[in-house]
Structures are given as structure tokens and as C-alpha cells.
Structure 1
């Protein structure tokens, strides 16, 4: 798999199989959706999806993978913005729900680095 700006999405299983640190996993679920699930992906960082202009620079030298609940509008909008900023960003296909359905690890928000 090539990690270039040409790639726009990655499957949860593919993402989970990458070496640790290959991509920064950014949780951009809206606060209410994130709180309602009570779960997070271990090692992911949460950023507010509608505040990307204020946090994008933090990831300017990183390869990132974004996820919202289902990998649709929220992820696509933020990914487009980051890519316009020349940040190597991809969307995790199917979002957080696909990660859970694949049986990949989750933790409670209390355990997560919030």
C-alpha cells in the first residue's frame, strides 16, 4: 500500500495493521456522537471537526487517518480541508462503526486520552 497524497481512504483492518505511528488516527466525531458511543479507538486523538482551521497545523508533518461515525460527510469535509493544507490525510472507510464491526480494539472514553 502506498502512503501518498493520491490515496484517499483506508480500511479499518488495513489501518490497524500499519506499524504504530505510521498514521496519526484522528477522531473527528461530533462531541454528542462521541459521548453517546462512550468508546474510542486506542491511541486516537479527538479533535472537533468544525475547528480544523485551529488544529490542522498540529498535524502538518504527519500522515493522518480521520474517522467520524460512518466515514461520510464529516470525514470527507475535514479530509478535503487537510489535503488542501497539503497534509497527507485519508479517511477510514466506514468510520468508527466499521472499526467496531471489524472487531478491532476499542476502549471506554474514561480509559482514552481525552
Structure 2
């Protein structure tokens, strides 16, 4: 049982991928990180020695601190964060316990370089429909909550990527983050970010079906296609559409994770008296 000011891996994994997930801060020393250079989904590495510098800039009112085994290092950082008004807990057992539990972890090598503000920056084609909303949702919920997305004319994607140090995705060019064979970009990201959990694989099938006109892949694919096309008609601003799409994919993810066995019927069957 977790003690006061600790959160168990079992409880934390239920928060990751949801809008209410706290800021996840990895404070492992370099030697421990080099032994397993992966991160909890959505977490960011911070230097525990500089906590007084970055704590004041943390854009969250709650946090979970992760060290190697969940001992004094993470407890000290969490205590400092609480001095800045941030409700901070420690991951019980640290990254070691997370790994032993078989929970997903993102290879640090798969995460693009961050900008001066610590954000990953991505660029893709304007007027998104499915993949170009689904992928940003995945990145913000499981890779980098502060990620920035640039939507530009298709002919300008590669130039903008070069000039602004942005990572291109979902374009018709030989880049890492795009369609591969029958897989759409969302599939590729789920796999390469180490996020192949049952709920995300289920969601990936739905996204692939909607994005590649193979609506027979999942019964939910036509619904996602319809909702996505509807959003694209509702919003002329791509970033406004992305914000609306975040809620859409939050709902699809929670269905994939928690509600696939639930049905709904009206009127409800009458009971025999």
C-alpha cells in the first residue's frame, strides 16, 4: 500500500493519457537514466539540483516525481515543489518499480530535440482531418504535454521543418513519422514511442480505418470519420480544431480503455412482474 505522499504505479497508469494527469517529473541521476534511457509516458527529465529554479515555472498545480527507486531524491524534490504550492507526490518504487510492473515507457531517443522552452515542435500539413489530429493528441497525452504544432501549406512543410527546427509528420515524404505500408502515422507513433498497450492498439485500428478509408477494420471507424469531417467543417482555424479534437480523442481513448463491454439500450427491457 502506498504511504502518504506516494502514488502507486497502478494508480498513476490510470491517470496517464487523461486530461487530469499531473506533471510527471523524472529526476533520476544520469547514471541511473543511462541504465534504462526511457521515460514514463508524458514525463520530462529535470535536474534535481536546480529544483528551485524550475519549480516556479512549472505549469501545473500537481506533480508526480520519479527517481530510480522512489527514495530520498524524489521525496526531496516533491517537498520543494510543495513549497511552491504544487501538490507533489512520489512514484512508489520509482522508475524501477514502473519497469518491473511492465508499464509502457517511451524511449528517450524517439523524442525529438526540445526548443529553448523545453517543448517539442512538430509541423504538418494544414487543414487536418484524422491523422493530423490523432497524432498531436497522442503526443500531448503520452509524450510531451507542452508540444507545439505548426500547420502549414503542404509545399512548405519541409522548409518550415528545417528553418524552425520542427519535426515533420504525416507528409508524403520519406520522414520517420508518416505512413508505412498499411499503417498510418498514428500506428507508427504508437509503436515507436513504446505505447503498444491494448487500449492504444485498439484506438490505432479505429484511426487507421478512418484515415485510410478501410472502414471495415473497426465498427467505430465510420463514426470517427464522420466526427472528424464534421470538426473540419466547424473550424477554419487548425489550432482551434486541434483543441476540439483533443476532447474527441479523449473520449475515444476512454472508451477503448474502459467501456468496450458496455452497451446502452432504450427503452430498457421491462421486467416481468
Fold in common (TM above 0.5): yes
Q: Which residue is 2:79 aligned to?
A: 80
- CA 1:20 to 1:94, structure 2 compared with 1: closer, same or farther past 3 Å? farther
Tell me how far 1:60 sits from its aligned partner.
5.7
Cα pair 2:22 2:60 within 8 Å, conserved: no
**Structure with greater strand percent:** 1
- CA 1:59 to 1:113, structure 2 compared with 1: closer, same or farther past 3 Å? farther
- CA 1:113 to 1:73, structure 2 compared with 1: closer, same or farther past 3 Å? farther
Runs of 4+ in 1 over 4 A off after TM superposition: none
In 2, distance between residues paired with 1:8 and 1:113? 32
> For residues 43-74 of structure 1, what are the alpha-carbon distances to aligned partners after superposition, in whole Å with 9 as ceiling and x for unaligned?
11110011101100122642100000000010
Question: Which structure's relative contact order is higher, taking Cα pairs within 8 Å and 6+ residues apart?
Answer: 1
- CA 1:63 to 1:113, structure 2 compared with 1: closer, same or farther past 3 Å? farther
Structure 1: give runs of 5+ residues left out of the alignment.
1-6
Whichever of the two has the greater Rg, that structure is 2
Cα pair 2:69 2:97 within 8 Å, conserved: yes
- How does the TM-score come out when normalised to structure 1? 0.85
In 2, distance between residues paired with 1:80 and 1:9? 12
In 1, distance between residues paired with 2:111 and 2:20? 17
Tell me how far 1:35 sits from its aligned partner.
2.2
Q: Which residue is 2:97 aligned to?
A: 98
Tell me how far 1:108 sits from its aligned partner.
1.6
Cα pair 1:70 1:96 within 8 Å, conserved: yes
**Structure with greater helix percent:** 2
Q: What is the RMSD computed on CA atoms of the aligned residues?
A: 1.7
In 2, distance between residues paired with 1:91 and 1:113? 27
The answer on 1:15 being equivalent to 2:12 is: yes
